Amino acid sequence: MYNEKVMEVFRNPKNVGEIENPDGVGRVGNASCGDIMEIQLKIENDIIVDAKFRTFGCAAAIATSSTATEMVKGMTVEDALKLTNKKVVETLGGLPAQKLHCSVLAEEAIKKAIEDYLSKKK
Amino acid sequence: MVKTPIYFDHAATTPLDKKVLDKMMPYLTDNFGNANSQHVFGRNAVKGVDDARDTIAGFINCKPSELYFTSGGTEADNWALRGVAHAYKNKGKHLIISPIEHAAMIVTAKALVKEGFSVDFMKVDKDGFIDLEHLKSIIRDDTIFVGCMLANNEVGTIEPIKEMAKIAHEKGAIAFTDAVQAAGVLDIDVKDLGVDLMSMSSHKIYGPKGVGALYIRNGLKVESIITGGHQERTKRGGTTNVAGVVGFAEAFRLAMADREKNFEYVTSLRDRFIDRILQEVPYVKLNGPYKTNRLPANADFSFEYIEGESILFSLDLAGIAVSSGSACSSGSLEPSHVLLSLGLPEELAHGSIRFSFGKHNTVEEVDYAVEEIKSAVKRLREMSPLFNAKGEIKNV
């Protein structure tokens, strides 16, 4: 069901963990649905300099968390807000249809973390 | 070093026994006849089918004329429930099943509700045992069908079917059991159990896929669901799967010949595994009964704070094949209906893995799996937002 790329990212996910004093935190999903994703961002001058995640979920949820955090590193918050789940899925070379919601969670977690940063900045 | 991949998914299916294949081969080649043909080729095929029917009927203590071959357990389940409902609808339209049945029963029951039948579920306790007092309280004069698995496929609970059948019969209802996981593992006597219908499958006991059987007590009316030719005493159309039926009987014969030995051996693997996991993995819950009245092959665990499918694939990468009772592997996002019926919270139901052992597994494989499970669970928990890096639980 999963392609090689997804399995490889699941086997060796990047950016697992927490950031000390993160500038933005986004937590989405809930345990009863079987997915919780928490993404933490370190942001300097509106540029994402570090991103970490912790995920409770299936292999696809872990792979999309890793890929999404990898993708936003180095991006401006403006560009990161434009990150879509579709781009995450494309980077992974595709996901089974019933797993697309995992990529949506990744997109939402990134957006929520940025919104958290922007609200604190005000 | 153990050889991988290791197969711990025998409740899903088993490898075909070489001896079974040898018995089947002539019916795939020289004795290829249609069992419905009049000529010598047909007669040779009929001989194979008749012998197979005699063999299996003997093991479950029914008459050969009470045994009907099907395409597997799902068809047998469908046939039993739908066939009784349609044949007895003038007597009553109330059906009772357990909430932890296979989808073959649950989905069929839901379809019957659309046809105007009503379905009630008997309660099960935390270990999956059906509540007989509850059954007594919901059974009615218009109840026509009461059914439950003899042994549960997910959590291994061996159910009090004899008592269930007695309660059903006191109210004039028909008693059914799904023995797909139990046939060839437990010693089954349909007369002693008192059931009127029982479904079985071949590929769970080292037989071929695509063949099963339904026991229908003589005198019972069961409407056909597959209509066609005169096969199976005109009750089930379709050219008989001669090689499959012959293989099923040989698999059954082998299972019964070594039944006690295999029961004891597989139980010893299961118990070693259960005890090691409970002792060595923190925050884990065994689903189903602890050892007693549990299928020898089955161990089902919920690992807290992590999700089942990610455990399944972690173990797959380590060369261990298991099943996840949770959402994602089945393509549905719903957690296991069996675990929810046992009262597990959704997050625990999502984190479950079923291990099912077989006669070819070894102690070394069990020990290897325990070590791999420990490291996979640790790694996934380190990734989980519900669990912090120090291994202490976050208050969520």
Quote the pLDDT of residue A98: 87
Residues 356-395 of B with CB under 8 A from A: 382-386, 389
- Given a contact cutoff of 8 angstroms between Cβ atoms, the answer to whether B378 and B284 are in contact is no
Say which of A7, A10, A34 has its CB closest to residue B327.
A34
Percent residues over pLDDT 90 in chain A: 89
Nearest residue of A to residue B350, measured between CA atoms: A34
Task: Give me the active site residues of A, please.
Answer: 33, 102
Mean of all residue pLDDT scores within chain B: 95
Quote the pLDDT of residue A122: 75
For residue range B301-334, list pLDDT tens digits in order.
999 999 999 999 999 999 999 998 654 444 456 7
Say whether B383 and A2 touch across the interface (CB within 8 A).
no
Give φ, ψ of A99 to 5 degrees.
-105, 0
Quote the pLDDT of residue B347: 86
For residue range B11-46, list pLDDT tens digits in order.
999 999 999 999 999 999 999 999 999 999 999 999
Task: Give me the active site residues of B, please.
Answer: 328
For the cut 90, the answer to whether the pLDDT of residue A111 exceeds it is: yes
For residue range B184-225, list pLDDT tens digits in order.
999 999 999 999 999 999 999 999 999 999 999 999 999 999
Say whether B310 and A18 touch across the interface (CB within 8 A).
no
For the cut 50, the answer to whether the pLDDT of residue A29 exceeds it is: yes
For the cut 70, the answer to whether the pLDDT of residue B340 exceeds it is: yes
Size of interface A-B (CB pairs under 8 A): 73
- In chain B, which residues fall in CATH 3.90.1150.10? 259-383
- Given a contact cutoff of 8 angstroms between Cβ atoms, the answer to whether A118 and A111 are in contact is no
3-state secondary structure of A29: strand
Percent residues over pLDDT 70 in chain B: 95
pLDDT-derived band at B393, boundaries 50, 70, 90: low
Average pLDDT over residues B290-310: 95
Residue B216 and residue B148: Cα distance in Å, rounded?
16
DSSP β-bridge partners for residue B287: B300
Give φ, ψ of B296 to 5 degrees.
-60, -30
Chain B touched by A11 (CB under 8 Å): yes
pTM above 0.90, yes or no: yes
Say whether B333 and A38 touch across the interface (CB within 8 A).
no
Residue A114 and residue A107: Cα distance in Å, rounded?
11
- In chain B, which residues fall in CATH 3.40.640.10? 18-257
For the cut 90, the answer to whether the pLDDT of residue A30 exceeds it is: no
Give the list of residues 6+ apart from residue B152 with CB closer than 8 angstroms, or none.
Answer: B100, B128, B159, B181, B288, B295, B338
ipTM: 0.95
Span between the terminal Cα atoms of chain A, in Å? 45
Architecture of the CATH domain B18-257: 3-Layer(aba) Sandwich (3.40)
Fold of A4-121: Sufe protein. Chain: A (3.90.1010)
Q: In what order do the strands lie in the sheet with A35-44?
A: A24-30, A35-44, A47-56
Which residues of chain A are within 8 Å of residue B392 when distances are taken between CB atoms? none
Task: Report which of A54, A62, A56, A61 is spatially closest to residue A13, judged by C-alpha positions.
Answer: A62
Quote the pLDDT of residue B327: 46
Which homologous superfamily does the CATH classification assign to the domain defined by B259-383? Aspartate Aminotransferase, domain 1 (3.90.1150.10)
Amino acid at B181: Q
